[in-house]
Amino acid sequence: VKEQPFRNAAGGLIDRNQPLEFSWDGKVLPGFAGDTLASALLANGVHLVGRSFKYHRPRGIFGAGAEEPNALVTVGTGGRAEPNLKATQVELHDGLIVESQNRWPNLRFDVGQVIGLVSRFIPAGFYYKTFMGLGFMGLGFMKPGRSWMFYEPFIRRAAGLGKSAIEPDPDNYALRHAHCDVLVAGGGPAGLMAALEAARSGARVVLIEDAPKLGGRALMTRSRIGGQTGPEWVESCRAELSGFRDVRILTRTSAFGYFDHNLIGALERVTDHQPMPTPHAPRHRRWMIRARQVVLATGGLERPIAFGGNDRPGVMAASAAQTYANQYAVRCGNLAVLMTNNDAAYDVVHDLRAANVDVDVVIDVRPNGPGAPQRERLQAAGVDCLKGYGIVDTLGPGRVRGVRVARLDEGGRAIKGTIRRIDCDLVLSSGGWNPAVHLFSQSTAKVQFDDELATFVPGKPVQATWNAGGAAGEMTLAAGLAGGMRAGAEAASACGFSTSGTGTIPACYEESGEPLQPVWLIEPPQGWHNKSFVDFQNDVTTADVVLAARENYRSVEHLKRYTTLGMGTDQGRTSNVIGLAVMAATLGRPVQDVGHTTFRPPYSPISLGALAGPATGAHLTSTRHTPMHAWHVENGAQFVPAGLWLRPQAYPRQGESMRDAWLREAVHVRKAVGLVDVSTLGKIMVQGTDAPEFLERMYINRWKSLRVGRCRYGIMLREDGHVMDDGTTTRVDENTFYMTTTTANAGPVMVHMEYHADVVWPELDVHMTSVSDQYGAMALAGPQARAVLQGAIDGTGSRKSDASRTDAGQIDHGEVDASRVDASRVDNAGTDVSDAGLPFMGFARATIAGCDVWLFRMTFSGEMAYEVHCGANDAMNVWMALMAAGKAMDIAAYGTEAMSILRIEKGHVVGAELDGRTTPGDFGFNAMMRKDSDFVGRRALDRAALARSDRRRLVGLKPVDGRSSLPRGGHLVADAMAQAPNVTVGHITSQTFSPNLGHPIALAMLSEAELRMGSTLYAVAPLHNVTVPVEVCEPVFIDIQGARPRG
Amino acid sequence: VAESQAIASDMTAFYAVDWREGSFGNVIGSPGVVFSRTVPTAIVEVIVRRGADGERALKHLPAPGTVIHKKNSVLIWTAPRRFVAASSRDDVQTLSAKWSKSAGAGGYVTDLSQARWGVRIAGEAAVELLAKGCPIDVERMGANSAAATVCEGMPVLLHGVPGGALAFDLYIMRSYASSMFHWLTRSAAEFGYELR
């Protein structure tokens, strides 16, 4: 086992029986199971771990957890390489491969550090001012605002974080939904107490902990809790919690978002800690947990004090060094200096000394120093205390080798003549603690400033939220334990569980101390210009904040965006409060008046894979197949998505292009016969004695007068008078209607009708059932359609013997009994499909290939056509029977593209025209609109805007030259040469090349259509630089009289 | 026609539902999830009218979120006044007649026998699997419970099957069958699964 020079021989919670090796920038280093990458690096004496975002300054490990701003690394290789992970949160495993980032050619000799030499000339706002105006260094050849486009790639290359993998991600990711009574976010002392108290009451509890082990601060404290060591107490809590059937403990899981209705998002890292991921296991699992009550026990984040040179490797948060010493048996240095403004930080001195780190002096910025207990302990340990002093600079080169300290005047500024040097290789800073209020803030609740803690604490909750421990501002261990127990009990009680007398608060001892003195930064002596950083990750200095305030960016939100303070993966964990305080001081206002930025999810980075979950590649959305899909595949169909459906776009033959295929299909339908799969239509069975009345209220048409066995085309409006959908409805019997909707609107129409039936007119006896998937449907179209159908219909009236087959339809309604059901079956033998037997817009039953079918004489293509609907199980048989019957007449399947050509040729409207902005009158449908009774949307049609005579109406277009393609989505103008803004008088909704006419055609919506009929306009698409003169014509190009479908 | 039917029978009715019996995924010992096909002979939707007759009928029908077993079938509550009846013995005519009567005067019954694809999900990880896709509280579903919900965004009808270890019957509109099948098998891989 290789030596780890800064690892103590004993102590810590690492497993020394499991030595590990990992690669750091190509160098193999040792560690132990239980280490984080950061603790292992420090154990090996590695402090330089990264280069800063903007100035490429050398940076070291600052924290010990999620608060780490500097140590961002790339973990893994190939498709598993993930940048910007915090070394403090990466669990060490054997074979871990880690690279530093934002450096070239290597971390120690990074070329980018030359930027640091000119850093004083590139403060906050430099890029905005320099590269977003007319240009830089005379390179103002670009138009204003465009120069950024030129410079951006260079700037991004020089400044930035890691690079994401290019290869496909080999891992899979999962989503998991969960519910609980009480969710506890944070498994530290307060969280454990809250979870225990809630669990003991019988509540269903989910406990989330970011780290691999429960315990948080209790794992690193040397205080005894309830007579046990911290780790012993944690283990006893874990054991008790594990004994409850309704408690779920999620470790290695970060609560990243607090959403509406107490929905918590959490990321579980399932296999990241494994050298070889468990087969089939997801790498990350995203939990979406709906909790009745939420306890936020997310702890506190130690706040540093800003001072000159505070970003040098070897400068750390005091509690971080304490964690490394106690939990990982790692010495972050040999000789430490602590600067603090509070008594709590003094424990760090004694813990470090116990871990063989010398601490000769403590610098307390308070004039009177610590309270008596800490003063006496310090004296007993032989440690000096410089009261009223502050650090004004750190000494290098490279890692810190000493500090300069100076006495502070009453304003907190260092006094020049008092400067002295102290040698050290570790500088610790503690400016107090900030509650981790991120999740609380995400819940839309506000934070408020606490004068005693000199920080923002949770205000009044908006959702069912309780705060406990450090997150609530209860910064001592004892207060956290008590607060956790209280929050757990109150949360459980709010869920209706009794918690009286079920637990006790474990005793622990902590020194009481002098109050904290709010000190945010050590003002350098007059004339000093060394940088003191507020936000390490974004290279924001105190001078940047002052500059922003001076340039009148006085809102905290503006400050954030101008300086980038609090952005990135850091989210201001260590920087926000200091930045706000510096700004407040500059503006001469109290910190609470400056306010706080709003935290947004995610609290900590979440992998894109986890956000996507299983919805990747072909699984991005679900896919719907029609019953005949396999036939389409077998016969060479090329598919196109139609919503979730896959529909045949065309059936290209060998050597045939798709365009040629659909043109051929469109011609074939007009000349012979074609069959198209229309199973995707929405199908709704409307039943009830009030069904006719209901339909009259939902549609603009008349339905009471529709005879049984007849179909009618209907238009449905939204409440605002615009067309919602169209389709045909057939009266199957007196009180049963079979409605079809467009494919896209099947769901919305069902919802629309159910809403009105259940909420608006509950007195009506009407019920809807979606039968979209019960029936397959196909349209047989063309001059030979009738002949094919006649040939396919069974003449014997044979019925399938399979008992599960039904007579394709609604079974019955009313007072049904078995005998009536049987009696309702009809003999469909030899159904007459002649004009007399099945006239246009008529309905009949038949059997084809032994399967019961419904026949509808209606057309979308404009040809003689029949829709054939049948049970989905039978649809393939019926389809193939029709193809077989049509073989002699050269029947061919056609796809959606030919279907679209045919309907444009006939001027039939679809979603492109029914785009939510059109009324029935825009299509000339006023004649079918009832005038004597009300329907949904009727009142709105009287509004002036919908009744204007110059509304755009449906017209047809033909290119004047008879050959130019009409631009998709093009606009219509009267004068193509007019200066901008050239007023548009209409727009193209559908366009195609008509193979039956031999030239392009289009449908368009045009204002003053009657006046412009026959005139020439211009179809323009400025983005494509296309202008086509067009003739305005009627929107029906073929069979204008409509004779073909009627036979 | 006969030739056509022969070809059609070779084509699966549920495109891309490649049901090959066997164990797949991370199977160590017994599989965490066992899928078996549920092929009811008939499925109908039963709607109970408003009014006194309907109110009387509802007293004998499943309460919200539950199912009842009788008349050779299971009746599953799906929404207020709406139920789905499924049977593996009756044909659709028989099933319809039985439940029309139970729905009282004016009840409505609609055949959905060909509109659904069903699968039974059993095994110790059945709940874990469904909780991956269903936002409802699947862990609290027990035997004879029912829910009309979504699974991975697809509309499904779930009900807890009584007897032995908890299993679920999942019904989905037939057009979603292949997507649901792929989601189920893909999501069950981490637990190990068997197609039976």
Cβ separation of B174 and A175 shorter than 8 Å? Answer: no
Q: Outline where DSSP puts E strands in A396-501.
A: 402-407, 420-423, 426-430, 433-435, 447-450, 455-458, 465-467
| Cβ–Cβ under 8 Å, residues A811 and B44 | yes
Residues comprising chain B, all counted: 196
Beta bridge partners of A713: A728
> What pLDDT, on a 0 to 100 scale, did the predictor assign at position A816?
28
> What pLDDT, on a 0 to 100 scale, did the predictor assign at position A218?
96
| Cβ–Cβ under 8 Å, residues A712 and A769 | no
CA distance B66 to chain A (A): 20
A816 chain-B contacts, CB cut-off 8 A: 96-97, 100-101, 107, 109
B92 pLDDT above the threshold of 90: yes
> What pLDDT, on a 0 to 100 scale, did the predictor assign at position B166?
86
Cβ separation of B4 and A881 shorter than 8 Å? Answer: yes
From the list B94, B182, B186, the residue facing A818 with the nearest CB is B94
Return the sign of the alpha-carbon dihedral for residues A163, A169, A171, A173: positive
Question: What's the alpha-carbon Rg for chain B, to the nearest Å?
Answer: 18
Chain-centroid distance, C-alpha A273:
26
Does B173 contact chain A (CB < 8 Å)? Answer: yes
Return the sign of the alpha-carbon dihedral for residues A450, A453, A457, A459: negative
Cβ separation of B132 and A624 shorter than 8 Å? Answer: no
From the list A179, A818, A822, the residue facing B137 with the nearest CB is A179
Average pLDDT, integer, range B11-40: 86
B100 chain-A contacts, CB cut-off 8 A: 811-812, 815-817, 821
Does A720 contact chain B (CB < 8 Å)? Answer: no
Does B20 contact chain A (CB < 8 Å)? Answer: no
Cα–Cα distance, B176 to B171 (Å, whole number):
10
CA distance B39 to chain A (A): 11
A851: left (phi over 0), alpha (psi -120 to 50) or beta: beta
B58 pLDDT above the threshold of 80: yes
Cα–Cα distance, B163 to B21 (Å, whole number):
24
Cβ separation of A810 and B136 shorter than 8 Å? Answer: no
Beta bridge partners of A110: A105
Does B53 contact chain A (CB < 8 Å)? Answer: no
Cβ separation of A804 and B180 shorter than 8 Å? Answer: no
| Cβ–Cβ under 8 Å, residues A189 and A480 | yes
Say how many Å lie between the first and final Cα of chain B, rounded.
Answer: 33
Chain-centroid distance, C-alpha A1020:
37
DSSP letters along A118-157, please? TGGGS-TTHHHHHHSSS-STT-TTSPTTTHHHHHHHHHHH
Q: State the burial class of residue B76 (Cβ atoms within 10 Å of its Cβ: 0-12, 13-18, 19+).
A: buried
Cα–Cα distance, A646 to A666 (Å, whole number):
20
The residue written with tokens 């393939």 in the block is A876
B135 chain-A contacts, CB cut-off 8 A: 177, 288, 290
Cβ separation of A880 and B137 shorter than 8 Å? Answer: no
Cβ separation of B111 and A630 shorter than 8 Å? Answer: no
Does B183 contact chain A (CB < 8 Å)? Answer: yes
CA distance B176 to chain A (A): 5
From the list B3, B108, B180, the residue facing A767 with the nearest CB is B108
From the list B47, B106, B186, the residue facing A614 with the nearest CB is B186
Does A809 contact chain B (CB < 8 Å)? Answer: yes
Cα–Cα distance, A728 to A703 (Å, whole number):
11
B176 chain-A contacts, CB cut-off 8 A: 622, 624
B15 chain-A contacts, CB cut-off 8 A: 625, 629-630, 633
From the list A178, A280, A619, the residue facing B25 with the nearest CB is A280
The token duo for A649 is 């776009």
Residues 6+ apart with CB under 8 A from A605: A84, A85, A569
CA distance A256 to chain B (A): 18
Beta bridge partners of A296: A185, A467
Cβ separation of B93 and A811 shorter than 8 Å? Answer: yes
> What pLDDT, on a 0 to 100 scale, did the predictor assign at position A126?
76
> Cα separations (Å) of A532 from A274, A309, A448?
40, 6, 27
Q: Strand B193-195 and strand B33-38: pairing?
A: parallel
Measured between CA atoms, the residue of chain A closest to residue B112 is A774
Residues 6+ apart with CB under 8 A from A518: A341, A432, A454, A581
| Cβ–Cβ under 8 Å, residues A565 and A578 | no
A621 chain-B contacts, CB cut-off 8 A: 153
* Reduced 3-state DSSP string for A646-709: EEEEECCCCCCCHHHHHHHHHHHHHHCCEEEECCCCEEEEEECCCHHHHHHHHECCCCCCCCCC
ipTM reported for the complex surpasses 0.90: yes
Which of A179, A213, A403, A134 shows the shortest CA–CA distance to A293?
A179
From the list A687, A771, A820, the residue facing B115 with the nearest CB is A771
Does B114 contact chain A (CB < 8 Å)? Answer: yes
Q: Which residue positions in chain A have pLDDT lower than 50?
A: 796-826
Which of A812, A851, A874, A882 to probe the B interface (max B CBs under 10 A)? A812
The residue written with tokens 């006094």 in the block is A415
B166: left (phi over 0), alpha (psi -120 to 50) or beta: beta
CA distance A765 to chain B (A): 7
Cβ separation of B113 and A806 shorter than 8 Å? Answer: yes
Phi, then psi, of B28 in degrees rounded to 5: -125, 110
A361-373 as b/e: b if 16+ CB within 10 A:
bbbbbbeebbeee
A881 chain-B contacts, CB cut-off 8 A: 1, 4-5
pLDDT-based confidence at B117, cuts 50/70/90? Answer: very high
A84-104 as b/e: b if 16+ CB within 10 A:
bbbbbbbbbbeebbbbbbbbe
Cβ separation of B187 and A614 shorter than 8 Å? Answer: yes
Cα–Cα distance, B49 to B57 (Å, whole number):
9
Cβ separation of B11 and A876 shorter than 8 Å? Answer: yes
Chain-centroid distance, C-alpha A706:
49
Does B6 contact chain A (CB < 8 Å)? Answer: no
Does A798 contact chain B (CB < 8 Å)? Answer: no
From the list A622, A769, A811, the residue facing B176 with the nearest CB is A622
Does A812 contact chain B (CB < 8 Å)? Answer: yes
Q: Which amino acid is at A709?
A: G
Q: Which amino acid is at B1?
A: V
The token duo for B61 is 């029908």
Which of A912, A995, A987, A1003 shows the shortest CA–CA distance to A954?
A1003
B186 chain-A contacts, CB cut-off 8 A: 172, 614, 619
CB atoms within 10 A of CB A918: 22
Phi, then psi, of A827 in degrees rounded to 5: -90, 115
Does B79 contact chain A (CB < 8 Å)? Answer: no
| Cβ–Cβ under 8 Å, residues B12 and A630 | yes
> Cα separations (Å) of A230 from A144, A347, A473, A478?
62, 15, 21, 13
Residues 568-627, chain A: which have Cβ within 8 Å of B?
614-615, 619, 621-627
> What pLDDT, on a 0 to 100 scale, did the predictor assign at position A147?
73
Which of A503, A602, A508 shows the shortest CA–CA distance to A256?
A602
Cα–Cα distance, A716 to A697 (Å, whole number):
9
The token duo for A145 is 């605002």
| Cβ–Cβ under 8 Å, residues A797 and A828 | yes
- Count of pairs with CB atoms under 8 A, one residue in A, one in B: 197
Chain-centroid distance, C-alpha A851:
47
Max CA-CA distance within chain A?
Answer: 115
B150 chain-A contacts, CB cut-off 8 A: none
From the list A175, A282, A816, the residue facing B97 with the nearest CB is A816
CA torsion angle A192 A195 A198 A200 (round to 10): -70
| Cβ–Cβ under 8 Å, residues A215 and A185 | no
